[in-house]
């Protein structure tokens, strides 16, 4: 797809009322683009955009886990703007807990947003993209879609799944003129680590003091010190869409780069250490 230069582009952005999503919507409107923005509260979104020209904004209250709501939102977007060019799957929230503390309900709620919600959006938009042989999907993952830490199992499980969906999708739709990217931010100075954005289950025991300490650090010490600027990250996402030459996995942030470099080395070490045993599980070569 060539990013449209003869008309305003039309974007569909999920998770638009806070943080990176909100900043992205604001910048797109300032550029003169058309934006359908999903949120759980359109009032919160429009209030947050006070001072911006919202005449090209379509705010949509959508439960991303509900396929009918998502499909209806995409249809409303195309009816309003006549087309759809870029989809940004940005909705998500954090969750800190040991594996055994994660309830079934919390695990399913997380996957409803980070995995099934994305799938619902993709199922709704891909027929339109294929029919027009154009379109761009940008999935907002995280560097924690490439590696994990103790206490982040549920959040990273969702992001790892999103990375897998993105890689498969990119290969599936390349012949249809559709572009696909994943962006992997590091820590950004948003309210992502505030209690309103982070699930915190009641501890089942005192067996994980290190995780309790990490929770306290993430909620009370790290906020306000994150290196990532959400405004610059939003600009980078626009560059991914308009530039046409971003890699499939676009890291955002110096911390994301450093963590990814460490993960590559650790994975290379594991491959090397696995080699001797790995080759013993094949059938013997026929003579």
* Catalytic residue ranges: 141, 155, 159
Q: Residue 158 corresponds to which tokens in the numbers above?
A: 């969702």
In degrees, rounded to 5, the angle at the alpha carbon of residue 169 between the alpha carbons of residues 168 and 173 is 125
d(CA 193, CA 186): 12
In degrees, rounded to 5, the angle at the alpha carbon of residue 45 between the alpha carbons of residues 96 and 253 is 50
- Is the sign of the CA dihedral 79, 25, 111, 253 positive or negative? positive
* 137 Cβ neighbours under 8 A, 6+ residues apart: 86, 87, 89, 122, 125, 129, 166, 169, 178, 179, 180, 181
Tokens 């590696």 sit on residue: 147
DSSP structure class, residue 101: G
Query: 195 φ, ψ to 5°?
Result: -55, -30
Please report which residue ranges of 95-152 form alpha helices under DSSP H: 104-111, 117-132
């Amino acid at each position: 797809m060539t990013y449209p230069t003869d008309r305003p582009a039309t974007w569909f952005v999920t998770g638009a009322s806070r943080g990176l999503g909100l900043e992205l919507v604001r910048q797109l409107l300032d550029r003169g683009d058309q934006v359908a923005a999903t949120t759980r509260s359109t009032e919160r979104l429009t209030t947050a955009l006070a001072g911006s020209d919202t005449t090209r904004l379509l705010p949509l209250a959508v439960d991303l886990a509900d396929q009918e709501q998502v499909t209806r939102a995409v249809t409303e977007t195309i009816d309003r703007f006549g087309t759809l060019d870029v989809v940004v799957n940005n909705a998500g929230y954090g969750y800190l807990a040991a594996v055994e503390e994660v309830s079934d309900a919390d695990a399913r709620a997380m996957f409803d947003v980070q995995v099934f919600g994305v799938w619902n959006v993709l199922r709704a938009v891909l027929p339109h993209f294929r029919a027009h042989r154009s379109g761009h999907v940008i999935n907002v993952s995280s560097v924690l879609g490439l590696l994990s830490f103790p206490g982040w199992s549920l959040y990273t499980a969702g992001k790892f799944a999103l990375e897998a969906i993105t890689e498969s999708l990119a290969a599936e739709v390349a012949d249809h003129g559709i572009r696909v990217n994943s962006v992997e931010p590091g820590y950004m100075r948003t309210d992502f680590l505030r209690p309103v954005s982070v699930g915190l289950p009641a501890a089942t025991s005192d067996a994980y003091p290190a995780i309790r300490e990490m929770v306290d650090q993430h909620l009370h010490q790290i906020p306000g010190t994150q290196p990532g600027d959400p405004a610059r990250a939003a600009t980078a996402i626009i560059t991914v869409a308009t530039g046409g030459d971003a890699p499939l996995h676009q890291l955002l942030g110096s911390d994301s780069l450093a963590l990814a470099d460490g993960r590559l080395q650790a994975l290379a070490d594991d491959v090397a250490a696995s080699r001797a045993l790995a080759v013993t599980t094949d059938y013997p070569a026929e003579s």
